[in-house]
């Protein structure tokens, strides 16, 4: 009996356990909880390391960017080499990256940037591999339950990261965040250890699509530079125009290569499934709304004088709401199918973001509105998370589960990276405008910071726009009922 036959024999009768779910959830939060804390502790890190604002912003966004760029590759590798193996590789990369960040010396960003890149590659390995394990070892309602806990690790981790980062940074120091990340990664490995390997059936080996990967990487890096540096360099400066041209050309080349390749870097055939396409697109847009956290928390720290811990407390409602409603989203999925809870979740999220965009209010009133807004944000994401994930993965072939999971989570990471970058670019770009902003008479209290508050409001409303587009995408692509959920 060959090793691949033995693997299939071992997994044929294996049923996922709560121990495996716990290990997977801890693996997932190494990114969403620990790596994403930089959204709130960035000012503290910058001051302690004595690095420039530009390098600090790069350190914040580069993890999600590298995760998004390489997550599809990792998903394909998980199918071929084994999902447990790729999860373990991701945990190892997380440990190494976190250690480098802990050891980052003052005056240089080399350790910090390298560590953040490794954290991104870690997430690229962990997310599709663990989602594919969920699909492989859980069925029906058990799979939906497992996905709910997976969502608690991702969406819940993203909700807790601001409060957690502020709390640890204010008491123990920001480096301890990444010490704790190492500990969690080790515990995750111990819980997952012993799980039978899961991989796709052996097929003829084909050359890896390096040309497609290179074109994709160039395109993503180019557009990220354009978004991140456009405001400071000038949107019509030669460097930005060249960067945008590189993005367009690389994207066209990438699509041309993938459409002609038998072993494409991205399996474009998966997008023939409208449900998968719609779930992935709405997932990209909802994760893009992470820019809400960056802009709102930066505003209250800069203009209301709140510390990172105090600003993180504004998101407590988000955390409580998302953790308490993810299982509700699972039950709504089982009762209604994915379409209605996805639409309901997006609508509630949109209302919540609108409340955070009321920057014309007095500081105390704005903090109250933001607290309510973030709570609704969490409720909406809780309703949306499990139905969206299950809709994306329930109809894809088993031998493409890793690739499909990679694409779906690529949408998460790239959505977060670009949403944060675009929201930040709008906020910081408009903040530099001189003179009174439009509708200046609406702004209550201080008038000297009306321009900054106006800029924040526009940056936040951009996130509302993304939610509206997500609703349209769901209406056009997600069926009214799903036979699998109804069974």
Phi, psi (degrees; rounded to nearest 5) at 39: -60, -30
- Say if residue 16's pLDDT is above 70: no
Q: What is the pLDDT of residue 484?
A: 46
Q: Give 42's pLDDT tier (boundaries 50, 70, 90).
A: confident
Pick the more confident residue, 401 or 37.
37
| DSSP 8-class letter at 453 | H
Q: What is the pLDDT of residue 158?
A: 75
* Sequence-separated contacts (24+) of 252-260 with Cβ below 8 Å: 253/215, 254/212, 254/215, 254/216, 254/219, 257/209, 257/211, 257/212, 257/215, 258/209, 258/212
Least confident of 59-68, 258-267, 284-293, 463-472: 258-267
Q: What is the pLDDT of residue 434?
A: 75
Instruction: Report pLDDT digits (tens) over 365-417.
Output: 999 999 999 999 999 988 998 899 888 888 777 767 667 777 887 888 788 87
Q: What is the pLDDT of residue 473?
A: 94
- Say if residue 226's pLDDT is above 80: yes
Q: Give 203's pLDDT tier (boundaries 50, 70, 90).
A: low
- Say if residue 487's pLDDT is above 60: no
Q: What is the pLDDT of residue 2?
A: 40
For the chain, give the mean pLDDT. Answer: 84
- Say if residue 235's pLDDT is above 50: yes
Yes or no: say if 403 and 76 are a contact pair by the CB < 8 Å rule: yes
Q: Return the percentage of the chain with pLDDT > 90, whole number.
A: 31
- Indicate the angle between helix axes 238-260 and 210-233, nearest 10 degrees: 160
Q: What is the pLDDT of residue 9?
A: 41
Q: Which domains does the chain have, with CATH numbers?
A: 15-194+265-486 (1.20.1250.20), 210-264 (no CATH)
Q: What is the pLDDT of residue 266?
A: 76
Pick the more confident residue, 162 or 66.
66
Between CA 125 and CA 101 the distance in angstroms is 19
Instruction: Report pLDDT digits (tens) over 119-177.
Output: 999 999 998 899 888 878 887 788 878 888 887 888 778 777 878 888 888 889 899 99
Between CA 68 and CA 389 the distance in angstroms is 17
């Amino acid at each position: 009996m060959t090793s691949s036959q033995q693997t299939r024999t071992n997994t044929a009768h294996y049923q996922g356990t709560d121990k495996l779910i716990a290990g997977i959830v801890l693996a997932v939060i190494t990114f969403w909880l620990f790596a994403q804390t930089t959204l709130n502790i960035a000012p503290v890190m910058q001051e302690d390391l004595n690095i420039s604002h530009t390098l600090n912003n790069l350190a914040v966004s580069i993890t999600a960017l590298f995760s998004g760029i390489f997550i599809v590759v990792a998903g394909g590798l998980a199918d071929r080499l084994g999902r447990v193996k790729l999860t373990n590789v991701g945990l190892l990369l997380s440990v190494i990256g976190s250690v480098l960040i802990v050891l980052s010396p003052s005056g240089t960003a080399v350790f910090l940037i390298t560590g953040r890149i490794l954290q991104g590659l870690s997430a690229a390995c962990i997310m599709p591999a663990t989602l594919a394990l969920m699909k492989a070892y859980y069925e029906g309602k058990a799979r939906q339950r497992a996905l709910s806990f997976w969502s608690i690790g991702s969406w819940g981790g993203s909700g807790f990261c601001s409060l957690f980062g502020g709390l640890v940074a204010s008491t123990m120091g920001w480096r301890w965040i990444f010490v704790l990340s190492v500990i969690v990664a080790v515990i995750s490995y111990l819980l997952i250890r012993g799980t039978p390997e899961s991989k796709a059936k052996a097929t003829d080996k084909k050359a890896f699509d390096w040309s497609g990967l290179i074109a994709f990487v160039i395109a993503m890096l180019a557009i990220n530079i354009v978004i991140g540096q456009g405001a400071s360099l000038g949107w019509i400066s030669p460097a930005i125009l060249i960067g945008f041209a590189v993005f367009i050309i690389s994207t066209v080349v990438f699509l041309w290569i993938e459409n002609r390749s038998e072993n494409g870097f991205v399996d474009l055939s998966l997008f023939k499934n409208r449900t998968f396409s719609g779930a992935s697109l709405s997932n990209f847009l909802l994760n893009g709304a992470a820019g809400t956290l960056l802009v709102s928390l930066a505003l209250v720290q800069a203009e209301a004088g709140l510390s990172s811990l105090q600003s993180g407390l504004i998101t407590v409602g988000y955390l409580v709401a998302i953790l308490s409603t993810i299982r509700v989203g699972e039950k709504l999925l089982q009762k209604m199918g994915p379409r209605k809870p996805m639409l309901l979740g997006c609508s509630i999220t949109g209302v919540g973001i609108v409340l955070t965009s009321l920057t014309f209010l007095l500081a105390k009133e704005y903090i109250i509105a933001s607290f309510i807004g973030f709570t609704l944000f969490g409720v909406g994401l809780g309703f949306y998370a499990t139905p969206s994930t299950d809709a994306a993965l329930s109809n894809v072939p088993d031998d493409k589960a890793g690739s499909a999971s990679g694409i779906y989570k690529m949408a998460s990471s790239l959505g977060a990276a670009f949403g944060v970058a675009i929201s930040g670019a709008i906020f910081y770009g408009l903040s530099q405008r001189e003179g009174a902003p439009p509708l200046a008479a609406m702004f209550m209290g201080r008038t000297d910071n009306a321009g900054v508050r106006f800029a924040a409001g526009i940056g936040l409303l951009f996130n509302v726009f993304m939610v509206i587009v997500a609703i349209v995408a769901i209406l056009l692509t997600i069926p009214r009922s799903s036979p699998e959920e109804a069974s």
